[in-house]
Chains A and B, each alone.
Chain A
């Protein structure tokens, strides 16, 4: 198992090698013995300039969406030297328990949060700032789940505002849809910016769809127009690229189709994995603020998850 190369910013050769290792999957950072890796990763994670924390992570507790266990994700984030990792499952805190135990064991900071998919199609990430906000967020989820049949969660934006005190929000632009379309309907983004002043952000992804440069530029424009600062995430669905087949298979299960019929419902590539901070810095070249804001959000969240969260409420 190859060791992570030491990080030297601006060193093209090592960075090239690293991206090659990550890209072709020969690097398996999560490994069997995660504890061995932590000392080396600590050094990278503490680098304040290129530090990065992945804030948009779907584990397999996002049912039939994520393809990795929370502990796999946490261990990989630690191995990659991330400052912290969030587990944001879809309308659920269910993955937090396992994530917390692993994070505590190997010593990486876990950010508690969840992804809210509202009934109008809006998606946001929510991170409670304190214990009380966490309670409100869980109550919000309970409310949504009681309204809906099993397995679903019916929430409206008004519910979010009602329980919104103390929540940090990240608005997710449509991943597959056109950003131009999103730009044309900024009322929601403006609404979020107004309702959650100072606590709302706009997520930016590097989708490898060929138009990422213009897409990022457009998102930056939207961020400037609405006052939602841009924050970089990788919309992680699995901890390593080798999980793409599993991710495709669970997608098929979710869509009730065979892999041959799934077509565009499958992702085109295997880029939705945890990436090292240097790789994220390369992808978001020119948007360094968006990267450092991940650390800002981490800093605003409680350093220790509430005990009740660990109890798995």
Chain B
């Protein structure tokens, strides 16, 4: 039988040595200044929270006060709850003075509940935090015990059978009821929880259920006994997978931290490999001895479980972590994972010789395309993924528009509908696969009807150079007939005599785009005729004539060279 255990530790103010002078925080309420919280010395002097400050000062003239800062208190409590993540991923601040931890399934990692509580206690004391800890099957019981039964150094740890009995002597306030309901119960003489046990349930519900469900006595009792579920909403996002590493002594040296990272990612990688998953979003928490938690958060371009890759990503960001006085725990959590089928990426015919350690083979994501993903991750986690673009083919007849820079971030989203020619776009013509295909089928003559019958490849588009000049470089050209290629041209002060040519490939402007301002050089050429030409020395050029013969005279350009 699995036992659901909730832990609860009300966090009082910082424990201080007994010789500390009385101290209190003060809050303003309706023009009056009231005591908000106090230290043991002040409590011993007879002060209590809620007391007006003048009264308190008359009791303890030497009272040291400071204004209460609830926001800072809340932040501190949240930080402490986060620190408690070392015991379980399910932690949350409880009201203003407690932390609840779901330790089901994690207590055995510490050698049982008692050992776990001892560990919490020891570490809290080191941070000088006074505390009372209770462990129980339900949040309600743990809440009651921690606030009304446990004491510093004496945690309440009833077995699940004893919980009912342990709860019985506690005052009814321990049921998390509002003061009105408590008052009502007291008025009818019900002071202890045990006295409620024999009461008829329907009568209780009728008489003490008017102030809403949360304050209904029956509801709270059911919660305490586990008859009603009370889930714990954890602090922040709950990771899907966690690997933890604790150190006997706190570590602070970056080299030690890096080694620890390696061990953690190896554990995680092994687990992900078993599950056939790859991590997309991770966080590495550094739990410092002073109760703070530092984080490194990572995103990956594609699912990965390659420990070397992950270790590199974390190591690259290690300098953003301040280990303070030392890190006593590191928790690597995966928040998003995707299916990643195992793939064989290496084939090693020789088993490693005995005594030779070999690096673990990359598990996955290192194979085809994995290289670029690793690169993207490393660049992206350093510069931000939005700083990286890559080139995508785009369906445009205009050569310089046939590719487009796409931000990596956009690509992840559904940007396909804004990028013409993305694979998602349907079209009778497939993607421009032939665009970059090199082709040697240059026709042997410019004269139609005299071309050789050599195959021109299977590409749907005529061959294009791999790289284009940007902007196209102007040339001086001489030609005869309107559709003829030049017989001679001068490019970069060198004259080339055209031996062979093929063309023209006519490409008209994209009339729906007005970008003459963006590229003044290209403006005005409403029609281009492209020719592949070969000069006497066998060099091949991709020339075009901007504009048709007439006024103004057309201009010639080299747009690229064929390798």
User: Which residue numbers of A lie inside 8 Å of B, CB to CB?
Assistant: 12, 16, 19-20, 23-24, 176-178, 180-181, 208-214, 216-218, 221, 244-245, 248, 255, 257, 259-266, 268-271, 282-283, 285-287
Contacts and interface: CB of A to CB of B under 8 A. Distances in A.
21 contacts: A20-B549, A23-B527, A23-B548, A23-B549, A24-B526, A209-B462, A209-B506, A210-B504, A210-B531, A210-B532, A211-B456, A213-B502, A214-B456, A245-B512, A257-B425, A259-B512, A262-B395, A262-B420, A263-B396, A263-B421, A286-B447
In order of increasing CB-CB distance, the 8 nearest A-B pairs are A263-B395, A210-B505, A286-B449, A208-B506, A210-B462, A268-B397, A20-B550, A269-B508
Interface in B435-455: 441, 443, 445-453, 455
A165 to B, nearest CB: 34
A209 to B, nearest CB: 6
A-side interface mostly: helix
Contacts of B459: 178
B541 interface: no
Contacts of A221: 453
Nearest to A209: B505
A264 B397 contact: yes
Nearest to B449: A286
B429 interface: yes
Contacts of B526: 24
B451 A217 contact: yes
Q: Chain B's interface: helix, strand, loop or mixed, by majority?
A: loop
Chain B interface bracket (under 10, 10 to 19, 20 to 34, 35 or more): 35 or more
A218 B397 CA distance: 25
Given A208-B504, A269-B506, A20 B396 contact: no
A180 B453 CA distance: 11
Given A214-B441, A260-B420, A263-B420, A177 B548 contact: no
A88 to B, nearest CB: 21
A216 B505 contact: no
A7 to B, nearest CB: 16
Given A23-B527, A176-B429, A176-B460, A213 B481 contact: no
A261 B424 CA distance: 11
Contact of A286 (B395, B429, B432, B448): B448
B458 interface: yes
B531 to A, nearest CB: 8
Interface string B489-509: 000000000000011111110
B97 interface: no
A260 B532 CA distance: 28
Contacts of A264: 395, 397, 421, 427, 429, 432
A129 B445 CA distance: 40
B41 to A, nearest CB: 75
B420 A213 contact: no
A210 B456 CA distance: 11
B505 A287 contact: no
Nearest to B428: A265
B462 A211 contact: yes
Most chain B Cβ neighbours within 10 Å, of A212, A248, A259, A286: A212
Given A23-B527, A270-B527, 15 more contacts: A16-B482, A19-B483, A23-B550, A24-B526, A176-B428, A178-B458, A178-B459, A213-B449, A217-B451, A244-B508, A264-B395, A264-B427, A268-B506, A269-B506, A282-B483
Nearest to A284: B448
A20 B128 CA distance: 92
Nearest to B464: A210
A217 B504 contact: no
Given A20-B549, A217-B453, A263-B395, A268 B507 contact: yes
Contacts, number: 135
A245 B509 CA distance: 11
Interface string B396-434: 110000000000000000000100110001011100100
B480 to A, nearest CB: 8
Contacts of B456: 180, 211, 214
Contacts of B531: 210
B347 interface: no
Contacts of A265: 395, 427-429
Residue with the highest number of chain A CB atoms closer than 10 Å, among B420, B429, B441, B445: B420
A261 B425 contact: yes
A214 B506 contact: no
Contacts of B395: 262-265
B449 A208 contact: no
A218 B505 contact: no
Given A261-B425, A264-B432, A270 B508 contact: yes
Nearest to A218: B453
Nearest to B453: A217
A147 B511 CA distance: 40
B208 interface: no
Contact of B550 (A24, A176, A180): A24
A14 to B, nearest CB: 12
Contact of A287 (B417, B429, B449): B449
Contacts of B191: none
B508 A216 contact: no
Given A214-B451, A268-B397, A180 B458 contact: yes
A71 to B, nearest CB: 25
B530 interface: yes
A282 B447 CA distance: 11
Given A259-B512, A263-B396, A264-B429, A19 B460 contact: no
A263 B396 CA distance: 5
Nearest to B448: A213
B394 interface: yes
B420 A261 contact: yes
B361 to A, nearest CB: 42
Contacts of A218: 453
B530 A210 contact: yes
Nearest to A16: B482
A256 to B, nearest CB: 9
A12 B482 CA distance: 10
A241 to B, nearest CB: 9
A261 B421 CA distance: 7
Contacts of B549: 16, 19-20, 23
B460 A178 contact: yes
B282 to A, nearest CB: 37
Nearest to B482: A19
Contacts of A23: 482, 527, 548-550
Given A211-B462, A263-B394, A245 B449 contact: no
A24 B529 CA distance: 13
Contacts of A181: 458
A211 B483 CA distance: 13
Contacts of B394: 263
Contacts of A20: 482, 548-550
B527 A12 contact: no
Nearest to A266: B397
Nearest to B460: A178
A211 B506 CA distance: 11
B481 A12 contact: yes
B458 to A, nearest CB: 6
